[in-house]
Amino acid sequence: MSTATDEMTCREFVELVTDLIEGQLAEGKRVEALAHLAECDGCATYLEQIHQTIAGLRRLADVDDFPRNREQALAALRELKRTK
Amino acid sequence: MTDTATRDDAELIAAVRRGDEAAFAGLVDELTAPLTRLALAHVPSRAVADEVVQDTWVGVIRGIDRFEGRSSLRTWIFQILLNNARSRGQREKRTLPFSSLRRHDPEGRDEPAVDADRFQGRRGEYPGHWARPPVEWDSPVERLAGDAAREVMLTAIASLPERQREVLTLRDIQGYSAEEARNALELSETNQRVLLHRARSKVRTALERHFDSEAGR
């Protein structure tokens, strides 16, 4: 944590996290954000938790299984071809 | 996924117009999972989502002759799905009592990623810095895979504003790239990112509440 008023605050950092992860921060901001991150345990934990959240969300997809609705869709194709 | 129809698209479109079953089946296999997940962002049950997806395929077959390739084939299919899912979702919502209590900003763009009271106020020693910083989660990998965390995530997703739910579904659950999600949902790059940001922040907050309460914090 730093006292200088022109340095990035934690409150600002958490709003830049997605831009940072997505590689969409302008170079100056990116340097500032990384400098903040290097000194702030709270924001390091926050960023880590966002990564963990993304990993957790991705796992929701593994559990879902979508039986192929192929036959039903193909039946519609055949049906409409016949009536065209 | 690109913005306008590609050459591959042109072949696929021609094949579907001819009624080529193999080509159409390939498309169905590729898109069933993302379309169903996206439908589930709007409708309450898997059964209804399946119907919405099936209606979408019927719409694709019916409309393919008139499709002009102003967007990519996949973008066009996603738009059909979204129209079906949104109107179906609206209809289902009318029967739910609390839908009118939803937040005023449907895009949810004005909310902070973290509650303001987690940070020090102007009179704090370090204004804008953490007052209550996040605490590291114990064994996050195992616990995030568990049923309890899964429930927490699903509940958090269900309470997101529509557009946030759509973006999160395609990006983080389905694993689409920013560009693919942007095209499927017809969003600007910035909008896509803002919606994703809000949605992820809220799911993290929900997980934090859950893990903190389990830890007795």
Domain encompassing residue B137: 102-214
- Sign of the torsion angle spanned by Cα atoms B78, A81, B5, A66: positive
pLDDT of residue A2: 45
- Sign of the torsion angle spanned by Cα atoms B39, B41, B46, B48: negative
Q: What are phi and psi of B130, to 5 degrees?
A: -55, 135
Tens digits of residue pLDDT in B174-204: 999 999 999 999 999 999 999 999 999 999 9
Nearest by CB to residue B61, choosing from A40, A69, A76, is A76
Query: Is the model's pLDDT at B110 over the cut of 70?
Result: no
pLDDT of residue B98: 44
**Interchain contact, B114 vs A11, CB within 8 Å:** yes
Query: Is the model's pLDDT at A4 over the cut of 80?
Result: no
Query: Is the model's pLDDT at B107 over the cut of 60?
Result: no
pLDDT of residue B57: 95
Does B68 share its domain with B147? no
Cα–Cα dist B131/B120, whole Å: 5
Q: What are the chain A neighbours of B37 within 8 Å (beta carbons)?
A: 61, 64
Q: Is residue B2 part of a domain?
A: no
Does B115 share its domain with B84? no
pLDDT of residue B70: 87
Location of structure tokens 């903040």: A36
CATH number at residue B196: 1.10.10.10
Tens digits of residue pLDDT in A19-73: 999 999 999 999 999 999 999 999 999 999 999 999 999 998 876 666 667 888 8
Among B68, B93, B118, the domain boundary falls at B93
Domain coordinates in residue numbering, chain A:
10-83
pLDDT of residue A70: 83
Closest CA to B36 of A25, A67, A46, A84: A67
Q: Is residue B185 part of a domain?
A: yes
pLDDT of residue A80: 81
**pLDDT, mean over chain B:** 89
Q: What are the chain B neighbours of A58 within 8 Å (beta carbons)?
A: 172-173, 175
Q: Is residue B23 part of a domain?
A: yes
Does B119 share its domain with B53? no
Q: What are the chain A neighbours of B19 within 8 Å (beta carbons)?
A: 77-78, 81
Q: Is residue B120 part of a domain?
A: yes
Query: Cβ of B196 under 8 Å from any chain A Cβ?
Result: yes
Among B74, B93, B112, the domain boundary falls at B93
Does B19 share its domain with B87? yes
What residue in B sits closest to A84 (Cα-Cα)? B62
Does B163 share its domain with B65? no
CATH number at residue B52: 1.10.1740.10
Does B20 share its domain with B61? yes
pTM of the shown model: 0.84
ipTM of this complex prediction, to 2 decimal places: 0.84
CATH of region A10-83, choose from 2.60.120, 1.10.10, 3.30.310, 1.10.287: 1.10.10
User: In total, how many domains does chain B have?
Assistant: 2
Among B46, B66, B93, the domain boundary falls at B93
B125 dihedral zone (left: phi>0; alpha: psi -120 to 50; beta): alpha
Is the separation of the CB atoms in B195 and B164 below 8 Å?
yes
Question: What integer is the mean pLDDT of B18-39?
Answer: 92
Question: What integer is the mean pLDDT of B146-173?
Answer: 94
Query: Cβ of A12 under 8 Å from any chain B Cβ?
Result: yes
**Interchain contact, A64 vs B37, CB within 8 Å:** yes
DSSP per position, B119-151: B--TTSSSTTSBSSPPPPPSSHHHHHTSHHHHH
Does B82 share its domain with B143? no
User: How distant is the Cα of B149 from the closest Cα of chain A, in angstroms?
Assistant: 8
Tens digits of residue pLDDT in B60-96: 999 999 998 888 999 999 999 999 999 998 877 655 4
Query: Cβ of B203 under 8 Å from any chain A Cβ?
Result: yes
Does B77 share its domain with B114? no
Does B45 share its domain with B133? no
Does B85 share its domain with B124? no
